[in-house]
Structure 1
């Protein structure tokens, strides 16, 4: 077996992406045995994957983007089965920790940290794939996965704000040049829900409805989250709720680290009068590293995702380095680097400045872009 995503006849091969299911036995080991086995989950995602990336290298092949859904059954099945798997992992772990296991507080938090790594690395990435689709079942599964990490509004924020307004002052998650991750994270946590509410409100107003109308999906997000919090309480009382919230926080932290890396310092050109250029491939940091691409179902092919947001993950394309800014590694090492802002700026600020000279040599004063003082796009909610 190889890690190739095509078989000998050039057909797409789904099985390498199923490697994400290896998180399941790692979680089970940590829950049943505690101790050093708790470290296996973060080591697997943050150490082993980057090492394999270094050994295996990049995957620069591009599949046929017109491949019909009928040929993608096993790819779609992988994302669709993850909700019941994650549900069992989260609440099964809560049950064991609060009713069966006799672990120390540190071990308990360590196990739930591992759960958060799993729900963030796999669950949120799969939710992202699912809620980008028009199929109601897939979107519903995406909502359920986001509710399991108490971040349901991310779907609205991502689809109605991030994609239309990435690289502009309206987008909450586009990290500004020189903005450290911790500052960006606090800003996103404080403003993200309000941003999603405003976006849904604007849509409802256009349909002549109140933002308090039941068709506002925010109520669905909050309802699902309340159900899962109630289940956590039913299993382990307030301790169960606290542990559930803790894993959600870890997952959200990972999500926003990824968002930070994907667009740091990259801005769309302001054309005047609140108008911005269209989204182009060079407005995202890209990566073609093979193993982390399998783990994250090609999320790292982010430039193509923004150009073709409905395209399914196995069909996402890699752009030439002359067309897009490239990350030096896959996502895991980059998110670790982002946790240390001085080192991050040392590595990435020169890259952003080079990107500016390459794609926008006509812009001499970047201060308004850097400070986020340009006007918001016309019509932005």
Structure 2
């Protein structure tokens, strides 16, 4: 159960209530500042997103209030606007940086790489996260903005994988994104890069097959994905030549790494109970890790309220509900700190493995042998 909803709909309709979620826009002039100053200023964006927001979390604490989940879309205008506007703003910043940086005399090679690493932190931490919000909505404009954001990081298949695979198979061996117990990020990352693309393509091909259509039918969204990604690569080359193309790839690779770090954290070690005959229990709130830290939820538009997202996937981010410790597992810190910890497997296991074991005792005291869950060898769902 979630806490009592104590933010009235009329409060949500005011632009001031949405203002904290617009903080992400400050990262765009920040990356331009780093480009103009050069030197160690090129790392200011990662410092801000990882360390500044971690410090703000420590100062501001937790935010556990819930909005009325029945709030209509018209009362959420200012929340929706920031996610829709982000795609063109990010594109203008990314390609503007490519044009300017490839002609800048004051930026050395390492400064260029650092600059576009910082840009990738933005397009991964904010851009892909906003695309995640947008792809879950029903209207064409928002879904188009999601596709444009994913094409900017060459990860368009994430939409198919997330909607058709992850939400259906979370917590089972068929979901590549669910990190296995004791699986370090450095093993998880290459696995998920390969398996997510394969599972996304197979999911779309299977849908077409059920309509008696081949995988290469025009309605396969992968054609759109490939066309958009090719357009992004061509634009980067047109603006900055081979150097511009290389810097674009640095940005895209960084963004993908940021996304998969978050994916790793969100479900690490959490599995659905196998019921026999390849069937699993329904997805429940306790199959996702949550974090109620205020500042990082501003930056990540409540992504850390992840249990409720899996409960109601099309629920807009300001309406996502917070869960108590009794109803869903809680991370000790927000995603910025936890993703940094994930890069150090011994530290990660020291922090998280005891929590996974406690989670198992709390929710599944009847399961004594976890070996099949640990190695993901329990039967696949049908």
TM-score tier (shorter): over 0.9
Contact in 1 for aligned 2:8/2:68 (Cα 8 Å): no
- Offset, 1:374: 1.2
Q: Report the secondary structure of 1:271's partner residue.
A: strand
Among 255, 258, 262, which residue is 1:258 paired with? 262
- Offset, 1:102: 3.4
- Offset, 1:6: 6.1
TM-score, length of structure 1 as denominator length = 0.96
Consecutive unaligned residues of structure 1, counting only runs of 5 or more, are: none
Matched, 1:95 2:99: yes
Aligned to 2:376: 372
Matched, 1:192 2:196: yes
2:64 and 2:10 map into 1 onto residues whose CA distance is 18
Once the two structures are superposed, residues 196-245 of structure 1 have per-residue CA deviations (whole angstroms, 9 ceiling, x without a partner) of 11110111111111111010101111110000000011111121111101
Aligned to 2:120: 116
1:68 and 1:271 map into 2 onto residues whose CA distance is 38
Matched, 1:341 2:345: yes
Among 291, 294, 298, which residue is 1:287 paired with? 291
Among 48, 69, 74, which residue is 2:73 paired with? 69
1:86 and 1:221 map into 2 onto residues whose CA distance is 18
Contact in 1 for aligned 2:152/2:252 (Cα 8 Å): yes
Aligned to 1:136: 140
1:272 and 1:73 map into 2 onto residues whose CA distance is 46
Aligned to 1:32: 36
Matched, 1:305 2:335: no
Change (3 A) 1:11 1:92: closer
- Offset, 1:101: 4.0
Q: Report the secondary structure of 2:302's partner residue.
A: coil
Aligned to 1:272: 276
Aligned to 1:226: 230
2:50 and 2:163 map into 1 onto residues whose CA distance is 28
Contact in 1 for aligned 2:9/2:71 (Cα 8 Å): no
Q: Report the secondary structure of 1:99's partner residue.
A: coil
How many residues get paired?
Answer: 374
Matched, 1:175 2:183: no
Change (3 A) 1:98 1:55: same
Aligned to 2:215: 211
1:125 and 1:8 map into 2 onto residues whose CA distance is 24
1:158 and 1:54 map into 2 onto residues whose CA distance is 31
Aligned to 2:3: none
Aligned to 1:82: 86
Q: Report the secondary structure of 1:325's partner residue.
A: coil
Consecutive unaligned residues of structure 2, counting only runs of 5 or more, are: 1-5
Q: What pairs with 1:14-53 in structure 2 (closer than 5 Å)?
A: 14-53=18-57
Matched, 1:247 2:222: no
Change (3 A) 1:360 1:106: same
Once the two structures are superposed, residues 234-289 of structure 1 have per-residue CA deviations (whole angstroms, 9 ceiling, x without a partner) of 11112111110110000000000000000000000010111110000000000111
- Offset, 1:8: 12
2:218 and 2:278 map into 1 onto residues whose CA distance is 32
- Offset, 1:9: 7.3
